[in-house]
Structure 1
Amino acid sequence: MLSSVSSIEVLQFLCKIFFCIVQNNRTASPLPGTSPADQFSEGRALRLIKRLANDFPHRQVGAKHYSDASAFLLDEARSVQRLAAKRQDLSVQDFFEAGILPADTDFRMMSAKYFGELPGLDIAFLLDSGAYHMLADVPERIRPGTLQAMGENVAELIVDIGDNLKQGKDEVEGDEKLIFFDVLGLFMVTYPMRLARILHRTPLILALALPLLSLAVGPKLQRTVLQQYLEQSKMALVAFLSAALAVITPVLFSVAFVYVTGRPLAWVGHSAAAYALYMPLALAGALLPYGLAPNAQPKWVLLGFAVHMGVLAELLTTAGLGAGYALTAWALAAIFASLFVSGEDGGVQLPWLVLAAAPAILLVAPPALMLSLHIVQKASTSGAPFLQYGTDISVAVVLGLSLIGCVGFLGGLFAIQFRAKIWVPVLMLCVFSAIFGVVWTQRVQPYTAEAPKKVYMYHMHHVNGRRVASSTWDLAAIDSSPVSWALPSSLASLPVGEWNSGSQIVLYPVNKFMQGISLPAPAPEPGTPLPRVDLISLSFPSFGFYGALNLTGDMTAWSFTNKTWPIEGAKAERMVRFTGAKGSETWRFWVDIRTGGQLAIDVVAASIAKEASEAARLTASFPAWASVAASEAYHMHWASEPSEP
């Protein structure tokens, strides 16, 4: 693959990576003397680019098709990951690609895996994510020197590209997935999926083989081989129930907590509060099955846990997911710890447990906690489709899974020491969460000026022909707490109506993850020029408008795309988003419809509310813990008349 890579393609690849980094980390001016220009003025990067062009003039120039694994065909991709993402982990990638969270990026949709051929890496930044897409998202919030760091990353990246091209490295096959994970931010471990299919199955094979091996090489045991396998299977089932209850217990508590207090997202802006609410419940659920298991012994707790983790690792790897490495690590740790158990029913000393569990904890706990923290941080921007319980349930699930990754088999060994008294620590953990939740909701406001509730407000004017038929305040929020919480008194007294389709169109597809309301609003000033829809063009009175054009009907084609259309007789729906820059206030387009067919057009044109507008004045009346993005918008609908039979 590398033999056909041109120096031009390398530079394009660099530019796209650098653009992706800067786009995701919109940086402010760094400290004096630390700008990227100072870094590059030394000529180091320019000399490297020239060296690449001179050393590889024979590389073929032209457009290339990049496969799903193209981001990892070269070591330079791994270099930018190492430099820009110190805590990278494939399990996080698996989580987001599974579609569990209603989130996506333009880069990913335009990558080779989806609808484009864009190579590169998608990088997410977590610091100060509460300011993203809000009024406080200003350059002054960005830490100085950020662009300097990005410039250094790109310069190092060019060095790696040159070295790899010169050495002719080819890391993986074109369509093969690469397993990668970080070890304490010190180094990365990478291996191809073909090796993962062997490594991730090894613990299960070892765990199942140990009873036979102990019969062959060890002293005579009290249990037969069949009895050993039955005991191992029983404890594997207990391990499964423990993992299930570690998730179910905080989920049930989250539902009850939100129902009783009426306060979803009580921990927004205070991430530690989410852990204090749900982690003790997860631990209580994880301990309970082991404490109730009759005659559970350390050796079989460990081997049953190893079988449980081994089976899950096998299932994940077979499904093509890379997160099986974490389960494999815990399974191997459990097998290793079982070797230090004295006899079938003997105990194990604490130092050996720490020695066996430490590598798995150091490997799995950091990415598990990082992912859970990311979900908690992003919870304020999701959850609306799942009513008021959705976000708390999601966070409870993630924190329960994180606890399993952090504790492993240690919880089971701790629980069997209590036996019949297991209810004592379980009840103590439950009481702690309940008391903390009640006290927290009584004393702490979930939203703050630093972590506000994000509200989108449109002063929507519904246009009929050449006049405004009605106007509404359309307000929407993307979290699971009601948008009515943030309403100022001037709006709270107005009759609430169903969320209008106009603002849903302009917010599409994010509207599917939001909840909104519509309230009566004043009409625009008399004589205000209106956008208009003609049969073949879309025009605006001035530049600066943005929005969406939605067409529904018996279409066979239109001028914006040549994508495949629905089968014969089916209705088609197409949408295009637009931004009106200066000099492009009008777009001409065409639509083909079937003979005798019908067509409906919806257009929503919006612009940022001007300082003197009614929307801007109303924005100032919202509470300080609400961040309002206000726009002035117009919704127009046009439909063809039904044809005569």
Structure 2
Amino acid sequence: MLEILSTLSKSSEPLQHAVIFLFNGAEENILQASHGFITQHEWAKSIRAFINLEAAGVGGKELVFQTGPENPWLVQAYVSAAEHPFASVVAQEIFQSGIIPADTDFRIYRDFGNIPGIDLAFIENGYIYHTKYDTSDRILTDSIQRAGDNILAVLKYLATSDKLAKSFEYRHGNVVFFDILGLFVLAYPARVGTIMNYIIAAIAFIYLSKKILQPKTKVNNMKKFFTAFGLTLLSWLSTLVTVLIVAVFISLIGRSLSWYSHFYVSMSLYGTAATAKLILVHTLAKKFYYKNMNDQYLGDVFFDASLMFWAIALTVLTQIGLCSAFICTLWVAFPLFTKLMIHKEFRQKGKNLFLFFHFHDVLKIVTLALAM
């Protein structure tokens, strides 16, 4: 904040709007400083938007984990201006659900000031955060530089924006936003996402009903499909139990947050256990229940069972109104469309091929475990 303040003060570029730098104290004491400013200070009523800087770690990429409320133009401003954007609506909905026992000044500005904003936080190496090891020498200078580049660019964008003066006129609906492999952020209105989600779910249900409800083999197909569906759910449930057992064991040996040091530690610790359990359940099912079934047909049945689950999840999450439903959209759309295209191509050559993706199942289990 001091470096950005210094840079702006020396810049010859004119700003259309004033910028207030607020250095808060008493954050851990029920966010008193931010509450006092936004409810009592004479400048508070002139504020149209804010950028809140947080930390849940000591480095890495700063993540946009809260936006709004209902100001999609702010997300678009961040996506357009930030040099290294990194954001996720999943993080926003998880944080605002109350699963994570934490709070930030963002809520104070939003609820008491009725002001839209962006909430960013460092999330890497949270294992030492707020401990005696949380010292200045462990702060990564490249992370500070990255955050400075992003915030300065977004701040200049907002301070020269015509929308900022009439921000309340652009308050309509939520926005779905997520990064693509850390390269860029994709953002679109939630209402567009809702339409797209329902269309993709409908295509999946039409595809499944056409395959399962064939007149000559209807009963047999339904029996095999629902058996595979049940085994798939059983594999996920047993995998979740396994991951939770690992979590309990880690807690008992006094390393309950060891996975929080780096992302690859959590993936190695819980991802390995989840993958091994999934493989074990499906291997046992194939050995004792599907002894003489063709591997290609077996993969096709389990693909359909998994597709059905995610299509149902996509429909339910969209109906609830969660923007995070885009994850199910990806897990339904890409496997299904790839399968349809490849099946059409090979059918013309008199061959048949299927694609079966289970990696997203592992990620789902690990995500649930880490959130808990």
Query: TM-score per shorter chain, which class?
Result: 0.5 to 0.7
- RMSD in angstroms over aligned alpha carbons? 4.6
1:120 aligns with 2:117: yes
Alpha-carbon separation, structure 2, partners of 1:131 and 1:258: 16
Letter in 1 for 2:78: V
Q: In the TM superposition, what whole-angstrom CA distance separates every residue of 1:22-60 from its partner, at most 9, and x where no partner exists?
A: 4xxxx8xx7xxxx7535641312xx133799xxxxxxxx
Inter-CA distance 284–144: structure 2 relative to 1 (3 Å threshold)? closer
More strand by share: 1
1:348 aligns with 2:353: yes
Name the CA distance, whole Å, in 2 between partners of 1:270 and 1:76. Answer: 31
CA contact (8 A) 2:70 2:171 kept: no
CA distance in 1, matches of 2:265, 2:148: 33
List aligned pairs for 1:251-266, cutoff 5 A.
Answer: 251-255=244-248, 262-265=253-256
Instruction: Give yes or no for contact 2:177–2:187 (8 Å, CA) kept in 1.
Output: yes
Output the amino acid matched with 1:265.
Answer: S
What's 2:157 paired with?
A: 159
SS at the partner of 2:185? strand
- The answer (yes or no) to whether the contact 2:197–2:326 under 8 Å persists in 1 is yes
Structure 2 residue identity aligned to 1:319: I
- 1:99 paired with 2:71, answer no
- Separation of aligned partners in 1, 2:188 and 2:97: 21
Check the 8 A contact 1:203/1:332 in 2, yes or no. yes
> Match of 1:331?
332
Aligned with residue 132 of structure 1, among 102, 106, 129: 129
In the alignment, the residues of structure 2 paired with residue 157 and residue 266 of structure 1 have an alpha-carbon distance, to the nearest angstrom, of 35
Deviation at 1:225, TM superposition (A): 4.1
| Aligned 8 A contact 1:278 1:396 in 2 | no
The total of aligned residue pairs comes to 314
User: 1:238 is aligned with what amino acid?
Assistant: L
The code of the aligned residue for 1:159 comes to Y
Q: Could you tell me which residue of structure 1 aligns to residue 15 of structure 2?
A: 48
The question of 1:249 aligning with 2:229 is answered: no
- Show structure 2 runs of 5+ residues with no match: 20-43, 50-65
Aligned residue identity for 2:99: I
CA distance in 2, matches of 1:104, 1:122: 11
- Closer, same or farther: CA 161–241 of 1 in aligned 2, 3 Å: farther
Answer whether contact 1:235 1:301 (CA < 8 A) is retained.
yes
Do the aligned partners of residues 157 and 323 (structure 1) sit closer, same or farther apart at CA in structure 2, a change above 3 Å counting? same
Deviations 1:78-100 (A, max 9, x none): 33366287331111111112222
CA displacement at 1:322 relative to structure 2? 1.6
Report how far residue 308 of structure 1 moved. Answer: 0.5
In 1, are the aligned partners of 2:204 and 2:307 still within 8 Å (CA)? yes
CA shift, 1:63, in A, is 6.1
Bigger Cα Rg: 1
Q: Distance in 1 between matches of 2:326 and 2:208?
A: 24
User: 2:217: which partner in 1?
Assistant: 224
Offset from partner CA, 1:209-263 (integer Å, 9 cap, x none): 12555699xxxx795345434443333333322322221122134435666xx44
CA distance in 1: counterparts of 2:47 and 2:18, whole angstroms: 22
The equivalent of 2:268 in structure 1 is 276
Cα distance change on mapping 1:398 and 1:134 into 2, 3 Å: closer
Q: Which amino acid aligns with 2:302?
A: V
Match for residue 432 of structure 1? none
- Structure 1 regions of 5+ residues with no counterpart? 1-21, 53-60, 373-394, 402-645
Aligned twin of 2:191? 194
Matches within 5 A, 1:70-85: 70-71=68-69, 73=71, 75-80=73-78, 83=82
Q: Which residue of 2 aligns with 1:180?
A: 177
Structure 1 pair 203–63 and aligned structure 2 pair: CA distance change class (3 A): same
Query: How far apart in 1 are the matches of 2:93 and 2:171?
Result: 20
Distance 1:225 1:206 in 2: 20
3-state SS of paired residue (1:123): strand
Q: 1:165 to 1:276 in 2, by over 3 A?
A: closer
Task: Please state which structure has a larger fraction of its residues in helix.
Answer: 2
Task: Note if contact 1:48-1:158 (Cα within 8 Å) is conserved in structure 2.
Answer: yes
Q: Which letter does structure 1 place at the counterpart of 2:157?
A: V
How much has 1:326 moved relative to structure 2? Answer: 0.8
1:325 CA displacement: 0.7
Partner of residue 203, structure 2: 206
| TM score, norm. by length of structure 1 | 0.40
1:264–1:132 Cα change, 3 Å:
closer
Alpha-carbon deviation of 1:274? 4.5
Aligned partner (choices 222, 225, 229) of residue 236 of structure 1:
229
- With over 3 angstroms needed to count, the CA separation of the structure-2 counterparts of 1:236 and 1:169, relative to structure 1, is farther
Q: Say if 1:193 and 1:144 are closer, same or farther in 2 by CA, change over 3 A.
A: closer
- The residue identity in structure 2 corresponding to 1:73 is N
Partner residue, 2:61: none
